[in-house]
Amino acid sequence: MIWLLRLVLGFVALVWAFVLVKVLRHWADPPWTLTAASRPVAKDVSISVVIPARNEVHNLANCLAGVLEQDHPNVQVVVLDDGSSDGTAEVLDAYVAKHANIVSLKGGQQLPEGWFGKPWACQRAQKAATGSWLVFIDADVRLQPEALSRAVGYAMDEGVDMVTGLGKLEMGSFWERVLQPAVGGMILAGNDLDRVNDPDRKDDNLANGQFIAISRSAYDQIGGHGAVRQDILDDVGMARALVGASLVYRCLHMRTLFSCRMYTNLSELWEGWTKNLFAGMRYSWGAAGGAILFTFLFSVLGPVLLGLGLLGVVGQEGLLWGAGLTVLLHGVRGLLDIRMEHNPIYGLTHAPANVLVMAMVVHSGLRTRRGTVTWKGRTYRPSAATSVDSQRQP
């Protein structure tokens, strides 16, 4: 058994060393990156920004301000207030009164049979969009002035039907800084962009609903959000629908073009990732188990061995393995924190944070299977593809 443990530890160390070399090699010029220096789209191309907003009183003004500052002159904005009860409607009305290019729509609480909340909101909102390109963004997103023109320009230059991106992750609270990089690291570890953007790998799909730019023709061809009406992860579903229709998309790093603060406290983090994680694993306990094993081996095992070694539990060899793996792990994490402009001190929480991530994966699976996944006042039952207002639950 000792030789098997050494083999596993050696493999983990080799992978971390490979990742460290890869990060250093792409430090100055990371692949699959779109920036403000990229070529903009022609000014006569019409773009419609579609924003579904449900209880976004603290985010919507900031989001609309970013959209209205775009350097592209031909932008329409469509916002659907999806049954908000927190003052979102008042914020929207104030902007509509000042800006003629904003279309305001109202949505109710009830969802039709077989639809989840965000796809239904987007499906209704896009009907008012007139652009030849549709850009779906979340209400907690802040666009930089070049975001729309560069994304659509890239899509047209490259001949792709959709561009989606990974923006800058804004974090304020302690728990955001601890958990968000850990969850993001697990997701990106399983979705290398070289594979995601390889047209020959039909099943490696990743998209980010915070920013999706898609041509109107491609959107209509796949049936719009009707193609993802039952998907908790409607963004990844959109990517799969495109691939299924023999259309092409790209997922890019877009940190300098938009930012997003997804959650603000531990409760929102737990609820939000409970909604997403098991769905991202295609509702498979096998995939969830694999993710948990991967996370333990690459993010927890080294620090655990180091701790046990320092306590004299595993002997000198265990201490040395633990120290080596921990140095490699924190070397990669530190470099990525610097690149992402995260505070590196929170990298020291990497191992305990990933223990919590493993717990979230299990919790996400259990809640999904029980049909008790909740988000913004709605309870979803993925197996039945229905949702209801949580306030109306017995």
> Domains, the chain, ranges and CATH?
2-27+275-392 (no CATH), 47-167+208-264 (3.90.550.10)
For residue 2, name the pLDDT band (cuts at 50, 70, 90).
confident
Which of the four pLDDT bands, split at 50, 70 and 90, describes residue 28? confident
Q: What is the DSSP letter of 321?
A: H
What local confidence, expressed as pLDDT, does residue 109 receive?
Answer: 67
This prediction has a pTM of 0.91
**Percent share of the chain, pLDDT over 70:** 96
pLDDT reading at 383 higher than 70: no
- pLDDT tens for 136-190 read 999 999 999 999 999 999 999 999 999 999 999 999 999 999 999 999 999 999 8
Q: What is the per-residue pLDDT across 65-98, written as a single tens digit (0 to 9) for each?
A: 999 999 999 999 999 999 898 899 999 999 999 9
Residue type, 216: R
Q: What is the pLDDT of residues 234-274, one digit of tens each?
A: 999 999 999 999 999 999 999 999 999 999 999 999 999 99
Q: Is 285 helix (H, G, I), strand (E, B) or coil?
A: helix
- The average confidence (pLDDT) of the chain is 92
Q: Sign of torsion, CA 36 77 264 351? A: negative
What amino acid occupies position 243? V
Torsion of CA 60, 252, 212, 145, to 10 degrees: 50
pLDDT, average across residues 342-362: 96
φ, ψ (nearest 5 deg) of residue 33 = -120, 130
* Tokens 């902007």, located at residue: 95
What residues have CB less than 8 Å from 169, skipping those under 6 apart?
180, 181, 184, 259, 260, 261, 262, 340, 342
